[in-house]
Amino acid sequence: MRNLLLILFSLPLMGLSQTNVAQAQQRGVINNAESPHVKLKSIDIGDCQWTSGFWADKFKLCEEVMVPHMGMLLKGDRGHAYNNFKIAAGLKQGTHQGMHWHDGDFYKWMEAAMYVYAINKDPRILEELDEIITVIGHAQADDGYLSTQITIPGLKRFSNRQYHELYNSGHLLTSACIHHRVTGKTNFLDIAVKHADYLYDLFEPQPKALARFGFNQTQIMGLVELYRTTKDKRYLQLAEIFINMRGKSPPEPDETVRFKMVGDMVQERKPLRKETEAVGHAVLALYFYAGAADVAAETGERALIDALDRLWENVVHQKMYITGACGQTHHGASSRVDFVHEAFIGEYTMPNLTAYNETCANLCNAMFSLRMLGIHGESKYADIMELVMFNSGLSGISADGTHYLYSNPLRVIHGARDYSALVTETPDRQPYLECFCCPPNLVRTVAQLSGWAYSLSQDGVAVNLYGGNRLDTTLLDGSTLKRTQDTRYPWDGAVNITIQSCKQAPFEILVRIPDWAEATDVRVNGKDLGVATRPGTYATIKRQWKAGDVIAIDMPMEAKLMVGHPRIEEIRNQAAIKRGPVVYCIESPDLPENTKILDVHLPTDIELKTHDQPKFLGGMTTLTGNVLLHAHPQDAMYQTLKKPAWMTAKTQFVPYFAWSNRGRSEMTVWLPLVWK
């Protein structure tokens, strides 16, 4: 293994002085303040707060409904997650219930609660968490081991990768670091440190029996955050060991591992640095890539960054849905003919009806891009973060914040699939999922999203996400900046950013021009300064700013018909509708009675009109237009071509994230085109 410590001490700090690094923010969602190979660094949790509009409404729902409701589930007898800790602590009698990774689900919910506390400072949240942390501490073994699904039934530790012990470890470490950053307390952090020390002692020697453990790699991100929090380099060293272990041992099954948990399924056919395509279980892969990006942010290793660049490009340009979703199939085969599950498959193979697109995978896609944004400082990564959050991420939860989707297909047709045998695939949202990993992952992401909205550049601040907010932060040189953002985005492309106070010396503001935003106009105090506004880049405005200065951004939002790459056979001669960052779909409640989704066709000359509906499903802009209908015979698999008898019908298109909020319905994103 390479001498990691030598690398760390010898690498340059990318132009930032030690003084600047010391003054950088230390309480970000990702604490990369002292990460030497990060161009855009995190603001502190709580520095940005949503004030109005889309994300303010979603955060309020998260604070008032999503987090409390989920806590009720997970602390109750149905979710049973808290009961598991109580049983492991000897405070309650019973058996373990839930999936092997249910501890991790609970840690994610705790993390979400901490982000909410960072904004509202409700002391009841801290009191609840302190009680929970005490119980978790009692559930932890004296040597630091902690996984209730193992300790309650008395199973042998690390005897089977499918028990997800290291997945639970990763969410424990991450949640504890966030708790410490938000509260300053060490009660949860102490548990995490004790557990990480146990993992280091066990895995650092790299015993052969454990060479293929850690296939659901949240522990890499958790270890890097713990390193950033404690400065203990052993945790970073262990994080890299877990990267190096993948692909090191022959991917052969054994009696403790199901045949489908080997090879490409778990990203072990090739070492990461030699991998050329995203393969296998999409969540496992994207957690792995995100963790590797965290390690690369510390080491700067070129081979690792090059591999991540290749993988990001492969995901985004050859295996990602128009909604930002990932994981094309529930069951299938990789390009190297390994069995895969909930997984990436071949390039441009994009089914709609059977698209799996696990909510966790979609969110992990955004997490991976968030970390690549830090490393490279390029706006294309923020474009993907935004695409996911307005579409395939947010679709995982209902408008009222209490019902959930695990998979996120792009088409639903009544009778086309038998969902009775599909535990994680449902035709509509459910009040509880037995496999509960996705709901808390989504809720914690909504809760932390204001921490993604801005980043700190070497000489100023970057605007990553748009939404009504207030920013009160410290720049990397130690100066303070206060500003507000006013907008109805994503329903309107007009954004006003107003400086409230700042330093006198000139500094830069990087304004993201989304990849869809052609002809964007950027003005300062009403004047065109000649700033380049190329879509898919940051527009850089450097000047001496003063209180009252206003940056006005106008992104024309036109509803557009989108078509796919010609190799995507599933959508040949079909189109989807996208307006700004939001992908739209059509649902059967908006069609004439007894109309099937398969009857609907999209004329190429359709005129789409916007309608602001503040009381519809939490508030949104819908589209209306005339579609063409004709009924298809349902009996023959093939039939001779006949000229259809078209009927015209005016219908409504709703944002994809809002489907399945009006009862069970058919839905599609892609519609066959009729050329006009």
What is the structure's pLDDT at 419? 87
Mean pLDDT across the chain: 93
What is the structure's pLDDT at 9? 32
What percent of the chain shows pLDDT beyond 90? 86
Contacts of 313 (CB under 8 A, 6+ apart): none
Q: Tens digits of per-residue pLDDT, 497-531?
A: 999 999 999 999 999 999 999 999 999 999 999 99
What is the structure's pLDDT at 16? 37
What is the structure's pLDDT at 8? 39
Secondary structure (3-state) at 604: coil
In this predicted structure, which of 384-398, 414-428, 433-447 has the lowest mean pLDDT? 414-428
> What CATH number is given for 4-452 in this structure?
1.50.10.10
Cα radius of gyration (the chain): 25
Question: With bands split at pLDDT 50, 70 and 90, how would you rate the model's confidence at 247?
Answer: confident
What is the structure's pLDDT at 566? 96
What is the structure's pLDDT at 224? 98
Question: With bands split at pLDDT 50, 70 and 90, how would you rate the model's confidence at 161?
Answer: confident
What is the structure's pLDDT at 633? 67
Contact 501, 480 (CB under 8 A): yes
What is the structure's pLDDT at 251? 64
Q: Tens digits of per-residue pLDDT, 373-404?
A: 999 999 999 999 999 999 999 999 999 999 99
Q: Tens digits of per-residue pLDDT, 12-32?
A: 333 333 334 444 578 999 999
What percent of the chain shows pLDDT beyond 70? 95
Average pLDDT over residues 565-577: 97
Statement: residue 232 has pLDDT above 50: yes
What is the structure's pLDDT at 573? 97
Contact 45, 448 (CB under 8 A): yes
What is the structure's pLDDT at 337? 86
Question: With bands split at pLDDT 50, 70 and 90, how would you rate the model's confidence at 253?
Answer: low
Task: Output the pTM of the full model.
Answer: 0.95
Q: What is the C-alpha to C-alpha distance for residues 312 and 289, in angstroms, rounded to an integer?
A: 9
Rounded to whole angstroms, what are the CA distances from 289 to 21, 285, 381? 26, 6, 14
Q: What is the C-alpha to C-alpha distance for residues 418 and 290, in angstroms, rounded to an integer?
A: 35
Question: With bands split at pLDDT 50, 70 and 90, how would you rate the model's confidence at 642?
Answer: confident
Helix axes 302-314, 282-299, angle to 10 degrees: 150
Statement: residue 248 has pLDDT above 90: no
Average pLDDT over residues 438-444: 98
Was domain 456-554 assigned CATH 2.60.420?
yes
What is the structure's pLDDT at 603? 97
Q: Tens digits of per-residue pLDDT, 57-114?
A: 999 999 999 999 999 999 999 999 999 999 999 999 999 999 999 999 999 999 999 9
What is the structure's pLDDT at 640? 87
Contacts of 494 (CB under 8 A, 6+ apart): 487, 488, 552, 553, 554, 555
- Which pair of tokens denotes residue 561? 């018909």
**CA 590 to chain CA mean position, Å:** 30
Same fold flag, 4-452 and 456-554: no
Statement: residue 7 has pLDDT above 80: no
What is the structure's pLDDT at 632? 72
Question: With bands split at pLDDT 50, 70 and 90, how would you rate the model's confidence at 249?
Answer: confident
Domain ranges in the chain? 4-452, 456-554, 560-674
Q: What is the C-alpha to C-alpha distance for residues 19 and 134, in angstroms, rounded to an integer?
A: 38
Q: Is the peptide bond before 603 cis (omega within 30 degrees of 0)?
A: no
Q: What angle do CA 604, 599, 607 make, to 5 degrees?
A: 30
